[in-house]
Amino acid sequence: MTAKADSFIVDGKLALPYQYFAGRTGSRFLIQLRDQKKIQGLRCQTCDKVFVPPRSTCVSCGAKIADHWVEVKNTGTITGHTVIRYEEPHQPVKPPYILALIKLDGADTPLAHIVKGIPLTKVRTGQRVQAVFAKKTTSSILDIDHFRPLEEKPKIELGYSYEALEVGMSASFTKTISETDVYLFAGISGDFNPMHLNEEFAKLTPFGTRIAHGALPQSLIAPVLGMKLPGLGTVIPEITVRFRKPTYFGDTITAIGEVAEKIDARKWVRMELRWLNQKGELVAEGSCLAIPPVPLG
């Protein structure tokens, strides 16, 4: 635009400080949000509908509902969304950002709010989100600063339950025992016995060379019981081992567990344990009691 020399254009700005009463219903909602970090809605008992933001009168049937406060969750589901890419002074965050309609758990009317922590093109209806409360209050809906993806508890696949275990089921774990393993185990256990660490000393022993600590191959049964059979969630209250042969550096040890007995009275199992080396020789044998996993609390 090119203003002509004889044309006068005045620049102006409408700016009016004002006060605006939130109403009794709105006030209660905003005060609860500010002071308690709790989100409340009003419920119409006739329509069985919870309104957030709260309304003193049911939108559907017109009933007075101002006394029927209910607390809703700070988690919810995205029911609609867009990505705001144009910039305006009234926006609370710099574009681009996700604007979404979020139905809080326990509410029936979705609330418009900002979502962060989801890539712009990945936002979908049905996504679960949770409110992030603002550090500083503005006494408005921005006391919820934004919503972010709900962190679901990591899904854990538990091992076999007592009911799922059968006598004869077995599992194993195999590992080659190196010099490094033996040195680390010496450090972990504090067992610096020269028969494990000093070759010249070891030559004088009945084994004629260094051998691994007995508990080192024994410990290889832990990944079998705790991660395979019965698996995650298992507790081992008792384990007994008889050592039959030494484990030399470089030996490959296979630890095997097998369900031998189901103890119905306690819902425990007894398992037979065996350790074999690469030649198939029995290195150790024993047994344990295992408490199979029960659903986590």
Partner 1 sequence: MARKVAICAVAQTTYARNKWDQRFQGMALEVLEKLREQIDIKFSRHRREVKGIDMSINVSDDVFDARTISDNAMTDVLGAHFGCAEKVAQEGIQAIYYGLAAIASGHCNQVLIIGHCKESQGQSRNMVTHVAFDPFFTRPVGLDFCAAAGLQAQAYAQKSGLNDTQLAKIVVAARQHAAQNPCITELEPLTAEAVMASDMLADPIRKLHAYPVSDGAVGLVLAAEEIARRITKTPVWITGTGNCMDSFFLGDRDLTANFALKQAAQRAYRRAGISDPKSAFDVVELSDQYAYQQPLWAEGLGLCAEGDGARWIDDDGPTRQRVNVSGGMLAGNPLILGGLVRAAEAALQLRAEAGARQVADARTALAHGVMGAAGQFHSVLTLQRD
Q: Which is nearer to partner 1, 1 or 296 (CB)?
A: 1
Give me 99's structure tokens.
């604007």
Query: From the CA atom positions of the chain, what is the Rg in Å?
Result: 34
Using the rule CB under 8 A, which residue among 31, 59, 204, 215 binds partner 1? 59
Residue 141 touching partner 1 (CB under 8 A): yes
CB atoms near residue 97 (< 10 Å): 18
| Options 112, 164, 184, 282; binder of partner 1; rule CB under 8 A | 112
Structure tokens at 226: 């705790």
Q: Which is nearer to partner 1, 118 or 269 (CB)?
A: 118
For partner 1, the closer CB: 68 or 262: 68
Q: Do the beta carbons of residue 129 and residue 115 sit within 8 Å?
A: yes
Report the 10 Å Cβ neighbour count for 96: 11
Residue 84 binds to partner 1 (criterion: CB under 8 A):
yes
Using the contact rule CB under 8 A, the part of the chain among 98-106, 189-197, 216-224, 226-234 near partner 1 is 98-106
Among 45, 46, 82, 278, binds partner 1 (CB under 8 A): 82
Q: What is the SS3 assignment for 205-249?
A: CCCCCCECCCHHHHHCHHHHHHHCCCCCCCEEEEEEEEECCCCEC
Of residues 88, 157, 200, 264, which one binds partner 1 by CB under 8 A?
88
58 touching partner 1, by CB under 8 A: no
Cα–Cα distances in Å, from 144 out to 56, 64, 93, 250, 286? 22, 27, 13, 60, 59
Binding segment for partner 1 (CB under 8 A), chosen from 139-147, 226-234, 266-274, 276-284, is 139-147
DSSP for 157-214 reads -----TTT--TT-EEEEEEEPPHHHHHHHHHHH----HHHH-HHHHTTSTTSS-B--T
Kindly tell me which of 66 and 83 has the beta carbon lying closer to partner 1.
83
Q: How far apart are the first and last CA of the chain?
A: 70
How many residues touch partner 1 under the rule CB under 8 A: the total is: 44
Among 140, 189, 198, 278, binds partner 1 (CB under 8 A): 140
Question: Which of 47, 70, 83, 169 contacts partner 1 by CB under 8 A?
Answer: 83
User: Tokens at residue 283, please?
Assistant: 């290195």
Asked if 132 touches partner 1 (CB under 8 A), the answer is: no
Q: Please, what's the b/e burial string for 209-233 (b: 16 or more CB within 10 A of its CB; e: otherwise)? A: ebbbbbebbbebbeebbbebbbbeb
Judged by beta carbon, residue 123 or residue 283, the one nearer partner 1 is 123
Please identify, using beta-carbon distances, which residue of 65 and 269 lies nearer to partner 1.
65
Q: Is there binding between residue 53 and partner 1 (CB under 8 A)?
A: yes
Distances (CA, A) of 295 to 159, 263, 267: 10, 19, 14
Tell me how far, at minimum, the Cβ of 85 lies from partner 1, in Å: 5
Q: Is 125 in the site for partner 1 (CB under 8 A)?
A: yes
Token pair 């698996």 is found at 231
- Label the pairing between strands 49-51 and 282-291: unpaired
Residue 109 sits in the site that holds partner 1 (CB under 8 A): yes
Query: Contact residues for partner 1 (CB under 8 A)?
Result: 1, 3-4, 7, 9, 12, 14, 20, 22, 26, 30, 51-53, 59, 79-86, 88-93, 99-101, 103, 109-114, 125, 138, 140-142
